[in-house]
Amino acid sequence: MHISSQRTFTSDICVAKMSIFQGSETSQPHIALFPSAGMGHLTPFLRLASMLLSHNCMVTLLTTKSTVSAAESTYISFFLSTNPEIKHIEFQVPPMQPSNTTADDPFFIQFKATSRSAHLIYPLISSLSPPLSAIFSDLVVASGVSKVAVYLGIPNYAVSTTSAKFLSLLAYLPILTSDAAKLSNRSTDIEIPGLTPLPISSIPPPFFNPDHLFTATLVSNAIALPDCKGILMNAFDCFEPETLSAINNKRALRNLPPILPIGPLETYELKKDLGQYLPWLNSQPAESVVFVSFGSRTAMTKDQIKELRHGLEKSEYRFLWILKTKTVDKDDTEDLEDLLSCSFLERTKNKGMVLKEWVNQQDILAHPAVGGFVNHCGWNSVMEAAQRGIPMLAWPQHGDQRANAEVLEKAGLGIWDRTWGWGGQRLVKTDEIQKRISELMTDVKLKSRAKKVGEEARKATGNGGSSIKTIMEVIESLKQNNRS
């Protein structure tokens, strides 16, 4: 669908409100989902769409016409082809060239472009039939979408794709960036009233520059969070109990709406290509494989790849390694032989597999051969590991990932070495990597704690579980609104 209407934003208001107030013929909720850029944001929305369909909701998916990565386009197309009942609306985001900001990440630029264009969805969704019951929007577009929701007279729920710990930092960011003194002393922790202090080392470097495109975009949307009906989280109650309790009981960040854990979100069962890795995993002993993956956006330097390669080989464990060298997959064209050397691939061919492709991470983590997970600590990955009870070696690279690493360590899901810093901050050497991988694969207490986390995660999403109850309460409230 293209933006072709010449009607103005305000001239549609009366028509849309009349449509809504006339009521729907059914109490079945109709929910619009609006993700932001990147697979880390898209994936939980597709899983949420699948969950809503299973609860008899109508779903409309809003996406931008052009995506940053090829994986986004591929997965949107395939997901829609397997779920034809979902309405799909594409809209054109006007191009943006940041002039007075610091940004070299195409995803940051797309965040800002989508955020500032969110109001353009109004003419596209105001006349949907049946009318929308709610919008579930990415936190990164909350500001524009909240205004649209107000005009439509429906609630907007923000969808958080990070931990509650990092979400609390985002919510506090407008205050933090308004006072230069709060960030000028890099030797002290960040104090958010009512919450455990956050180490200054876990603050993403862009946050120290209020004019950075990433920071400015998050600040403008964090200001709008109090206007949301609630914040849906891909998480479960007992994974971050202290932070969730402090916020929901108004001991911290009192202006925030309730945080509603509805995860871990289940996979939407993409079976387009099972990949060569599953037959390989089938031939490996139980819990013998180290799964190494740094997500869809982490580009590792060649020097660090070399150290990781040697660390894996020196550990003598079997491994499945998903390798990425560019931030955007379209630019990732180097051959494995050039990156790793033919001799390494030959030496490890009987105990290791290295791939440069998108994989179904949940399928891999669910496989009995996998015994540990070396990962960047993107929140989707953390929740996938939690759901399966797979212990993690956290290696945070950017953004929310150091805060996430603190959370998973405290929850008992994994370990991490704080001295490794941010991705690219220093070269983590072979022996350090080998030592931590050995710890990951041999620590009996760690494995036991991780399995308990998995049990709690599955309990939350099972019949009568806390996450299921929460999403059902949200859906029921939308049904009640439809009936009124």
- 402 vs 321: CA distance, rounded Å: 22
My answer on whether 71 and 152 are in the same domain is yes
Residue 458 lies in a domain: no
Q: What is the pLDDT of residue 292?
A: 97
My answer on whether 257 and 339 are in the same domain is no
CB 115 within 8 A of CB 217: yes
The CATH number linked to 223 is 3.40.50.2000
Residue 449 lies in a domain: no
The string of pLDDT tens digits covering residues 417-465 is 999 999 888 999 999 999 999 999 999 999 999 999 999 999 999 999 9
Peptide bond into 264 cis (omega under 30): yes
CB 113 within 8 A of CB 96: yes
My answer on whether 372 and 414 are in the same domain is yes
- 123 vs 141: CA distance, rounded Å: 17
Count of other CB atoms within 10 angstroms of residue 329: 20
Residue 479 lies in a domain: yes
Tokens of residue 254, six digits: 């009192």
DSSP structural state of residue 267 = P
Q: What is the pLDDT of residue 328?
A: 47
Q: What is the pLDDT of residue 299?
A: 77
Residues recorded for the chain: 484
CB 437 within 8 A of CB 312: yes
Half-sphere exposure (CA, 13 Å, Cβ side) for 336?
15
Half-sphere exposure (CA, 13 Å, Cβ side) for 450?
28
Domain that holds residue 336: 277-442
CB 410 within 8 A of CB 394: no
- 450 vs 408: CA distance, rounded Å: 10
Q: What is the pLDDT of residue 337?
A: 75
My answer on whether 26 and 69 are in the same domain is yes
My answer on whether 409 and 333 are in the same domain is yes
My answer on whether 88 and 233 are in the same domain is yes
- 388 vs 371: CA distance, rounded Å: 11
My answer on whether 18 and 61 are in the same domain is yes
My answer on whether 239 and 358 are in the same domain is no
Residue 50 lies in a domain: yes
Residue 457 lies in a domain: no
Angle at 294 between CA 291 and CA 297, to 5 degrees: 150
My answer on whether 285 and 258 are in the same domain is no
My answer on whether 310 and 218 are in the same domain is no
The gap from C-alpha 256 to its chain's centroid, in whole angstroms, comes to 20
Spans of the chain below 70 pLDDT: 1-26, 66-68, 96-108, 111, 185-186, 268-274, 296-297, 325-334
Q: What is the pLDDT of residue 29?
A: 97
Residue 284 lies in a domain: yes
My answer on whether 313 and 435 are in the same domain is yes
The gap from C-alpha 259 to its chain's centroid, in whole angstroms, comes to 16
The radius of gyration computed from the CA coordinates of the chain, to the nearest angstrom, equals 22
Residue 448 lies in a domain: no
Peptide bond into 130 cis (omega under 30): yes
CA-CA distances (angstroms) from residue 363 to 277, 379, 409?
10, 17, 23
My answer on whether 288 and 258 are in the same domain is no
Residue 407 lies in a domain: yes
What are the residue numbers of the active site?
Answer: 41, 138
E strand or H helix that includes residue 478: helix 466-483
Count up the domains in the chain and report the number: 2
Beta bridge partners of 393: 374, 415
